[in-house]
Structure 1
Amino acid sequence: MVSRLLAIDTVTSACSVALFEDQKLIAQDYQEIGRGHAERLIPMIEALPNRGKAEKILVNCGPGSFTGVRIGISAAKALALAWNSELSGYQCLQLVAAQAQELAKNPDSIYVAMIGGHGEYFVQNFSASGEAKDALQSLSATDALGNAQSNRIAGNAAAALAELSPHFVTCNLLPKAAHCLLISEQDRYLNVAPVYGRAPDAVPAKAR
């Protein structure tokens, strides 16, 4: 029996979708749009074969744009309910690390840095095999540099950090739905919930 998987990625300035059949990519769309993911996502899915309908749906849960994270998850949940599809998620930095390792001639440990909020960066270290070596963090530029365990850095914040420390070898990347199967299978079955990567700006006042 043919099994289809729809992948959705909206957490950065890029909006992308991909449709797989028995783990083989059969259609995709990738657009760097900055904003407007909510208006662009559904038409992109509907343009896929059979309007993107699939038995499984995989969505990027973040971290990234607060709005983008919610758009992707909301769409994935709505489609999973309508199609009675299996739903699971993955984390943004995990995919960026996997994409960077796929491009490398000699994969080694890598540091992923993505643009966060309030001048901070989402960062995490990964091994050559793609396993996370530490926890996801949101750090200032100075702290992000000190947290690096590799001179290889990937992500949309790679160039900015490399300007502060020239010894980095950079790979400027955004996550792309068509590459989601590069992530290990166990890391593609995360609970679908927003990963914001940092504490909320507003904290409820303590009850008096």
Structure 2
Amino acid sequence: MNVILACDTTQAACSVALAYKGGIISRLQSMTKGHAEALMPLLEEVLDEAQIKASPTKRSEIDYLLVTNGPGSFTGVRVGLSAMAGLALAWDKPLVPYGTLAAMMLNRTFSNETDRPMIVAVDARRDTFYTQFFHQTGTALTPPQALSATQLLKTAQHYQSTLDIDKFYIMGTGKAAFAACDFLVASHSVDYPQAEIVVRHALAWQPSVWQAIIESAPAPVAPLYLRPPDATLPDKSKYPRLA
């Protein structure tokens, strides 16, 4: 069994998980801000519980560090990525990225909702939804995309035709915007990724899968942003200059 330390700070929660000696130690706090302050204490908690933090010998047992790398809030994505990149460098361990929307899709493992494809839609405001479509097998049908409501519906119609299906499940914070549409809301829809579920999924990966992901990921692991940040610098031309 691989020893895996994972975290997610990309959306409305901060979660960490450690797969170690046949079990999983995890922590999760719901929050819309404060991820930077919450992450390191949570990581320390799970490492302390496994008695890894104080022991360089036990730290050497960790095989992989795993982090969700977006899309999500700009600050949140960078918090998790920076923290795990620092640990990867300090401990000389491989850092493996996992897409935020794919991580959310894994939440449906708690239900039997595998009979239809799934839309993961995160409300990014200004009629924009971070979106990814998944086959009922869990395979991605599309890459993560920033779509308008109209574009999302057109993509759904395309796959309804090509896959010959009647309805999609939908999950994520964007689902409310499509309440009037003919989508099925996933009954176990959780509006953020959970590090524990990602770790449980990753435990089934063979060494060849880990190696393929590591080799295909950019070095260093990069955040996945689908649009520029909302915050912009002020236009200095509008302010008087001192003589």
- TM-score with structure 2 setting the length: 0.73
Task: String of CA shifts for 1:36-55, please: whole Å, max 9, x gaps.
Answer: 00000000000112239533
Shift of residue 95, structure 1, vs aligned partner = 1.4
Q: 1:101 to 1:197 in 2, by over 3 A?
A: farther
Q: What is the aligned partner in structure 1 of residue 69 from structure 2?
A: 61
SS in 2 for 1:81: helix
- Gapped runs of 5+ residues in structure 1? 203-208
Distance 1:58 1:170 in 2: 29
Match of 2:180 among 132, 156, 164: 164
Equivalences for residues 33-44 of structure 1 within 5 A: 33-44=31-42
1:153 maps to what in 2?
Answer: 170
Largest Rg, 1 or 2:
2
Partner letter of residue 213 of structure 2? Y
Letter in 1 for 2:12: S
Q: How many residues align?
A: 198
Q: Which runs of at least 4 in structure 1 moved beyond 4 Å after TM superposition?
A: 199-202
The corresponding residue for 2:163 is: none
Q: Percent identity of the aligned residues?
A: 34
Deviation at 1:101, TM superposition (A): 4.6
Q: Deviation at 1:175? A: 0.7
**Is the CA contact 1:13–1:33 (under 8 Å) kept in the aligned structure 2?**
yes
> Partner letter of residue 102 of structure 2?
Q
State the 1:131 CA deviation.
Answer: 0.9
Separation in 1, partners of 2:114, 2:79: 36
Which amino acid in 1 is paired with 2:224?
Answer: V
Distance 2:109 2:43 in 1: 28
Q: In structure 2, do the counterparts of structure 1 residues 114 and 55 end up closer, same or farther at CA, with 3 Å as the change threshold?
A: same
Supply the RMSD in Å over aligned alpha carbons.
Answer: 2.5
Secondary structure of the residue aligned to 2:86 is helix
Residue 130 of structure 1: aligned partner: 138
- C-alpha spacing 1:34/1:25, structure 2 compared with 1 (3 Å): farther
Normalised by the length of structure 1, the TM-score is 0.84
